[in-house]
Amino acid sequence: MSRRRTVIGNWKMNPTTIAEAFTLARARRGTPHQGVELGIAPPSVALSAVAGALRGSDVLVFAQDVHWEEKGAYTGQVSALMLRELAHGAIVGHSEVRRDQGDDDARVAAKATAALRAGLHVIYCLGESYDQRERRETDAVLARQVRDGVAAIDRGALADGERIAVAYEPIWAIGTGEAATPDQAAAAIAVLRAELRRCGLEGDAIPVLYGGSVTGDNAAEFARAEGVDGALVGGASLKQEEFARIVAAFR
């Protein structure tokens, strides 16, 4: 089955000035990406500047997180209704957000529901920890994250599933320089797709990205791996040349 290929650069809490974010985003406009949906996810304070820098290009803007409510007494948070003026979509469930804000599967599902209801696209992150992999619990953890998370997204909001992609991000591989092997990624993604199907979702149609220490050197292996439809890239997405090599690998 042919699925869209997507590469998203997650800038995390970088860069530290809006002017720099604007300059980085301008540079991304020139990244050749025919056949690949290309997006960048800057910090929320830089969304407006980055959206401006990318206006008129087909490089998409994503938020790194979104709140599950539309508005109200949620200090420090950003809602999907606010984001839709600035962003094409939002990442939800990133392990750093789960870690720092205590998000569980139900809350990530609520965030995804809110984003989809507002018309945004969603990159839904999940993945096992190092300890879970060591205890051979990876498959069970992934299946649970699909069941209690992705499958808990409001079905009306999810509609035909056209606006969601899943990102398999083993926590032990994020920012560590120790990427999963393409075989490990393919095996995990097969488990994810099987569980999506068991939950009545279009497991074969939903794109699944791999994330975790993707570099210009290893991207081509992931692009060839069974079931990998793209990459969610952290550290390497801040480097123009390297990010361009990653995007090129998925073209």
Residues carrying an active site annotation: 94, 169
- Residue that is written with structure tokens 């500047």 in the block: 49
Of residues 109 and 123, the one with the C-beta less far from ligand PEP = 123
Tokens encoding 160 = 């035909």
Residues in the chain: 251
Across the chain, which distance is largest between two alpha carbons, in Å?
A: 49
- Burial status of residue 215 (CB atoms within 10 A of its CB: 0-12, 13-18, 19 or more): middle
Q: What are the structure tokens assigned to 235, written together? A: 């550290």
CB 171 to ligand PEP: min, Å:
10
Q: Which is nearer to ligand PEP, 69 or 103 (CB)?
A: 103
Residue 153 CA to residue 103 CA, distance in Å, equals 15
Among 163, 223, 237, which Cα is nearest to 14's?
237
- Least separation in angstroms between residue 10's CB and ligand PEP is 4
Give the DSSP H/E element, type plus range, for residue 188: helix 182-198
**Minimal distance, residue 227 CB to ligand PEP, in Å:** 17
**Please, which residue, 97 or 201, has the CB nearer to ligand PEP?**
97
Residue nearest to ligand PEP (CB): 234
Give the residue from 98, 66, 87 showing the smallest Cα distance to 174: 98
CB of 94 to ligand PEP, least distance (A): 6
Tokens of 226: 């069974």
Residues of this chain that bind ligand PEP (CB under 6 A): 10, 12, 169, 174-175, 211-214, 232-236
Give me the phi and psi of 139, to 5 degrees please: -60, -40
The minimum distance between CB 210 and ligand PEP, in angstroms, equals: 9
End-to-end CA distance of the chain: 16
Q: Which two tokens stand for residue 128?
A: 């096992």
Strand, helix or coil for residue 220: helix
Residue (105 or 242) nearer to ligand PEP, CB = 242
Nearer to ligand PEP, 1 or 123 (CB): 123
